[in-house]
Amino acid sequence: MVATTDQSTCIVHNSSYGAGVAKKFKTLTLSGVKVTYEEVEEYHNAYWDLFKGIKQYESTLLREQESTGGWMFDLLGIPNCVDQDKKQDIINKQIQRSGHSVWMKFIRIVYKMIEDHNWTPEQFYFIMVDFYDETCFATKGIDHALVNDRIQKCTNLLNAELKCTIPIKTDGGVMANLWEAKS
């Protein structure tokens, strides 16, 4: 069984929202992906066999949410409210919130790096600090290689602070405009 990128993305994304085989099949076929219902069923089952721990983790989060009166804590210990009507999204909410909390730690490290190098707002300024899963900034009069090196050092500091088993990676580049950043 080999899934295409479109199929894999659909299976993983829709599984995290609790979609069943029929919904995934409909989503894929409406997107123009040539796949049979049986193949989608096979992918769906393989996903849940591989990720059966997800359901166990979901149970843990639901117990935490119930015992705290509607709260759970992200992976950094920051409280996160869970709407009673959105409990089916609790895993995705945990992942998104935890990722965002890690991203905010990274931004704090970048701000410290800017201060340590005495870069002025004219030399280094954020266009969008929190652009979902990235940050966009502009530099003037600072070598791009130096900026990339400093951002990598910020990433290393983040990994050290988090004591990551699987290190977080960053990549960047020079963009002519904001559209290029999201393309």
Interval 98-127: pLDDT, tens: 989 999 999 999 999 999 999 999 999 888
- The answer to whether position 109 is within a domain reads yes
Q: What is the pLDDT of residue 24?
A: 86
Q: Structure tokens of 81?
A: 């409210």
Same domain, yes or no, for 104 and 177? Answer: yes
- The answer to whether position 41 is within a domain reads yes
Which structural domain range is residue 166 located in? 97-182
- The answer to whether position 79 is within a domain reads no
Interval 61-106: pLDDT, tens: 999 999 998 889 998 899 999 888 888 889 989 989 998 999 999 9
- The answer to whether position 78 is within a domain reads no
61 to 75, 79, 117, 136: CA distances (angstroms): 11, 12, 42, 33
% of the chain with per-residue pLDDT over 70: 92
Q: What is the pLDDT of residue 3?
A: 54
Residue 52: how many other CB atoms lie within 10 Å:
10
- The answer to whether position 73 is within a domain reads no
Domain count, the chain: 2
- The answer to whether position 70 is within a domain reads no
pTM exceeding 0.75: no
- The answer to whether position 142 is within a domain reads yes
Going by the DSSP 8-state scheme, the letter that residue 177 receives in this structure is S
Same domain, yes or no, for 43 and 112? Answer: no
What's CA 25's distance to the chain center, in Å?
25
DSSP 49-94: HHTHHHHHHHHHHHHHHHHTTSEEE-TTS-EEE--GGGGGGHHHHH
With beta carbons less than 8 A apart as the criterion, state whether 25 and 43 touch: no
- The answer to whether position 117 is within a domain reads yes
Most confident of 51-55, 136-140, 170-174, 178-182: 136-140
Same domain, yes or no, for 101 and 176? Answer: yes
